[in-house]
Amino acid sequence: MGVRHAAKLAPEPVIWFVDDYKKILKRSVDFLNRKGFTSVVPMFSAAQVFERFKTERPDLLIQDIGLGDNQPDGIHIVRRLRGEGFGGRILMFTGDGIPNTVLRAALAGADDYFVKGNNLDVLIAQVKRLLDGPQNAADDLDRHDAFREGAYVRSLGFSEWDLDLLTEICRGLPKLVDVAERLGRSPQQVNKAISRIYKKLDLEHYGQLTHLLAILEMFSRRVTDDWE
């Protein structure tokens, strides 16, 4: 059976909303419905996402990170869907707002990030922005070109320690303590360095991930070179 593109079958953009906490899921979906997003598909497990992905594609995936025991987390889901060619927009929806997790989500392919507990009107603004297309697309293209040429990296003043740290994060290590062990540093040193990198990337809040998207290409090359 071929892939069915859900966006072509519905007048409203199709949103998949994944959260294992069913009360939060229902409240959030109801809120989106009241704001005019009527084609929202609630899901509460990775298995549901993978099964539906076999035949459908959403315009936007809103993905929780922590999905409970015995199933992949949201970052694994994002990485797998991107690996299978998903080109839609992805918004992380989670209670975990530490910089390390934000970086891992961006490197996996997330476009934006919402921390639970914030005003849901912020979520609506993020959803609209993602569905309307890339914000400041010309600026993002210029930024990515500069990044590839090395000027952007130099302007940020990344040290070799910063680059090593981002390389380890790109490997997909799930815990800060694992990253610290590989680098021979303490978890406190790693967390401090991540916070420093976060500031260098001009991320004033957890929703601003566009600066990080170009990192995946550069550091995937570094990781490949290391493994060959």
Query: Tell me: the pLDDT tens digits for 133-183?
Result: 654 444 444 433 433 344 445 556 677 788 777 777 666 555 778 888 888
**Sequence letter at residue 184:** G
Report the sign of the C-alpha dihedral through residues 185, 186, 187, 188, in that order: negative
pLDDT single digits (tens) 20-61: 998 999 999 999 999 999 999 999 999 999 999 999 999 999
CA dist., res. 175 & res. 48, Å (int): 25
pLDDT at 139: 43
Q: Going by DSSP bridges, is the β-strand pair 60-63/56-57 parallel, antiparallel, or unpaired?
A: unpaired
CA–CA–CA angle 190, 191, 193 (5° rounding): 65
Residue whose entry in the numeric block shows the structure tokens 């990080």: 212
What tokens does 166 get? 């981002």
Contacts of 89 (CB under 8 A, 6+ apart): 59, 60, 61, 111, 112, 130, 131
Spatial CA neighbour of 152 closest among 192, 211, 104: 211
Q: Which residues, in sequence order, are bridge partners of residue 156?
A: none
Q: State the CB neighbour count (10 A cutoff) for residue 122.
A: 13
Q: Domain 137-227 - what CATH class?
A: mainly alpha
29 phi and psi angles, rounded to 5 deg? -65, -45
pLDDT at 227: 42
Domain ranges in the chain with CATH number 3.40.50.2300: 4-132
Helix, strand or coil, per DSSP, at residue 69:
coil
Domain ranges in the chain with CATH number 1.10.10: 137-227
4-132 folds as Rossmann fold (3.40.50)
CA dist., res. 33 & res. 50, Å (int): 24
